[in-house]
Amino acid sequence: MKLVRFIMLARRPGSMSDDRWQKLIRRVSDIEGLRLADRNDLLHVVTSDDSPLHIGGHGVVVGRLFERDGREVAQLGPEACDRIVGSAGQSLCADYWGPYVCILRQKDGDRISVLRAPLGALPCYLVAFEGGVALASDVDLFIACGLLRPVIDWDEVLRHLMVRDLVWPETCLSGLRELRGGQQLLLSEEGLAIQDVWSPTTFARRDHQMRDPIAAARIVRDTVCNSVASLASGEAGIVLMLSGGLDSSVLAAALTRQDVPVTCITLVTGDATGDERRYARQVCAALGLSLVEGWRDLAGIDVGRSDARGLPRPTERMFFQESRRLCEQAAAEAGATAIFNGGGGDNIFCSLRSGAPAADRLLTGGSGFLSTVRDLSHLTQESRQTVMMDAVRRAWFGKPTIRLSHDTSLLSPDVVEAAHPPWRHPWLESAAELLPGSAQHLRLVACAQDIAEGAQPWDRLPMISPLMVQPLVEACLSIASWLWLDAGHNRAVARHAFADVLPEDVAWRRSKGTPDAFTARIFDANRRKLREILSGGELVRLGLVDLPAILEVLDDPRPVHGHSFRRVLQLADVEAWAAGWIASDV
């Protein structure tokens, strides 16, 4: 299914003239492909959604809404509408899930609220203007109605480069913010306010933990299968990016239960770490699925182009250009209408390598502590004494549970010294109240938030990450951290949940494939062009990067090594992203 587009205009009572309001409405109404969904004197909503859900005359839900059992909602009944209106929209987070945005007029008529689904794949950006606010699914809609001139906020670009994994409401375009999943915007006579109405922290608390391994495996399997069934419904066919690793293989197993054609694709490079065909073939043979083996082609990479074009942050990785091309090609040949991937699986399934789960054992009575130490020692190849000491320090001697490090490599030392990146993330502010392992699991989820919420409106086909959905995140965070370890394996609950349908080599696989060698080839083949892009680019002009250090990496005659080459590619992608916005503003 195509990603829904929408734009909403809202004004405070008496805040602007009717003439100016009507002028804005005319601009919005002229946007091709959007139809009226809701309106009154203070609100105007248009969307590409053919069947938005109306909330009994009080507002509208755009996108897809699923019951907790996975059934898609086609119409909201009177009781559901009353509950939504009575809770100011917040009951949606408890009763439903999905890629939706709820726009609600409160009972008094003068207050408007907008709720974005927790981990919702339907984007929601906002631009404030005198007397009101506009919210939309993509930047181009703001530009089309004259509410935004795209100007890059280089301070935010710097923060993005220093703290890549976590994403804040501020974007890298001046004047544009994002309503993150689980947040609600309120507009009233008093002004504009944003509040968090859902947080995964709730489900990671000690009194919420599940400690029965059999029950944990059952709930993970049921939740994965229900979520996949919901997201697959309505698709003519699905292409699954199947590496043969645990996460994508779990999705393959869940998809076999759906009445929708599935084509798997495994992406191959010429080196051992980039060739996982052995595992992908085993999965497809066991599940009766077809497999396409797509060879990544270096010629398909353009280091002067960013796949994040049109997005308010430079979030894409360069090697994914070829992944996207191969997946779209496979989809065209198979008649598929969506691409599924296992993004976020390591995060959701608690792939930890610290002593934190053993610390959780100590803080909950100590039973099973030595067993967890043994598992961690086997997993990390550290001595049991080292693991035990790490656990003790985390449990009783104040070793920080969460360290939010920042990457200053190849950035200008002067700029780094002057920068003050905010480390606070709303989901992590109360992490100190959690057990150490649960807190680290929560951090993993926070680092994967943008996998769920970073959809691209211009993708030919929707790229869906079914593991990064609200019901599964809530279920996995409620499982005790030590249950995710077994016999020296991480992600053990998910392994047990699907062990009966996956080949043993896959269910209990330890190795992981990576595109690192292909990424290194991209760098090596494009050294000259990368030098041109970065030497004459905005990052150098503004003094944000250390050009001599960059050139030292580019001119190193040795075979590609270390990590700096990835940073150079990231900086080049930022330049390509910025060039797109600068050109659009000419």
- Domain segments of the chain: what residues? 6-197, 203-348+446-507, 354-439, 516-584
Share of the chain above pLDDT 70, in %: 98
Task: Give the SS3 label for residue 116.
Answer: strand
pLDDT in tens, 161-201: 998 788 889 999 999 999 999 999 999 888 899 999 999 99
Q: Which of 115, 113, 129 has the alpha carbon at shortest distance from 175?
A: 129
Return d(Cα 151, Cα 125) in angstroms, integer. Answer: 15
- Angle at which helix 564-584 crosses helix 527-535, to 10 degrees, equals 50
Return d(Cα 341, Cα 257) in angstroms, integer. Answer: 17
**3-class SS shares of the chain: helix, strand, coil, % to 5:** 40, 15, 40
Task: Give the SS3 label for residue 490.
Answer: coil
pLDDT in tens, 418-467: 776 556 788 888 888 899 999 999 999 999 999 998 877 777 899 999 99
The confidence score (pLDDT) of residue 212 equals 97
Mapping DSSP onto H, E and C, the string for 363-421 reads HCCCCCHHHHHHHHHHHHCCCHHHHHHHHHHHHHCCCCCCCCCCCCCCECHHHHHHCCC
Average pLDDT over residues 39-48: 94
Residue 405 clears pLDDT 50, i.e. is over it: yes
Residue 464: C-alpha distances to residues 329, 342, 456 (Å): 17, 9, 10
Return d(Cα 229, Cα 524) in angstroms, integer. Answer: 42
- Comparing 102-116, 392-406, 489-503, 519-533, the range with the smallest average pLDDT is 392-406
Helices (H), 145-295: 154-162, 213-232, 246-255, 277-287
For residues 452 and 122, the answer to whether their CB atoms sit within 8 Å is: no
Neighbours of 527 (CB within 10 A): 17
The confidence score (pLDDT) of residue 369 equals 96
Average pLDDT over residues 129-133: 92
273 vs 236, more confident: 236
Task: Give the SS3 label for residue 571.
Answer: helix
Average pLDDT over residues 224-252: 96
Neighbours of 584 (CB within 10 A): 14
Helices (H), 492-546: 492-498, 504-507, 516-525, 527-535, 538-541
pLDDT in tens, 362-396: 999 999 999 999 999 999 999 999 999 999 999 99
The confidence score (pLDDT) of residue 186 equals 95
What lies within 8 Å, CB to CB, of 246 at 6+ separation is: 345, 349, 491, 494, 495, 506, 507, 509
CA angle 216, 219, 221 (to 5 degrees): 105
Return d(Cα 512, Cα 397) in angstroms, integer. Answer: 34
The confidence score (pLDDT) of residue 109 equals 66
Residue 538 clears pLDDT 60, i.e. is over it: yes
Q: What is the residue type of 243?
A: S
Write out the CATH class of domain 6-197.
alpha beta
> E strands of 169-218, at which residues?
177-178, 183-188, 191-196
* DSSP state for residue 515 in the 8-state scheme: S
Return d(Cα 43, Cα 264) in angstroms, integer. Answer: 44
Residue 586's pLDDT band, with cuts at 50, 70 and 90, is very low
For residues 268 and 275, the answer to whether their CB atoms sit within 8 Å is: yes
Average pLDDT over residues 410-420: 86
The confidence score (pLDDT) of residue 1 equals 64
For residues 275 and 511, the answer to whether their CB atoms sit within 8 Å is: no
**What value does the mean pLDDT of the chain take?**
93
The confidence score (pLDDT) of residue 423 equals 60
Classify residue 79 as exposed, middle or buried by CB count within 10 Å of its CB (0-12, 13-18, 19+).
exposed
The confidence score (pLDDT) of residue 513 equals 86
Strand 262-268 to 238-241 pairing: parallel
Task: Give the SS3 label for residue 119.
Answer: coil
Q: Which of 125, 110, 113, 127 has the alpha carbon at shortest distance from 85?
A: 113
Residue 549 clears pLDDT 80, i.e. is over it: yes
Residue 557 clears pLDDT 70, i.e. is over it: yes
Q: Which of 492, 402, 395 has the alpha carbon at shortest distance from 445?
A: 402
CA angle 253, 257, 260 (to 5 degrees): 105
Return d(Cα 48, Cα 26) in angstroms, integer. Answer: 17
Model confidence, pTM: 0.95
Q: How long a stretch of residues is the chain?
A: 586
**6-197 matches 203-348+446-507 in fold:** no
CATH of domain 203-348+446-507: 3.40.50.620
Residue 325 clears pLDDT 90, i.e. is over it: yes
Return d(Cα 477, Cα 459) in angstroms, integer. Answer: 31
Return d(Cα 237, Cα 240) in angstroms, integer. Answer: 10
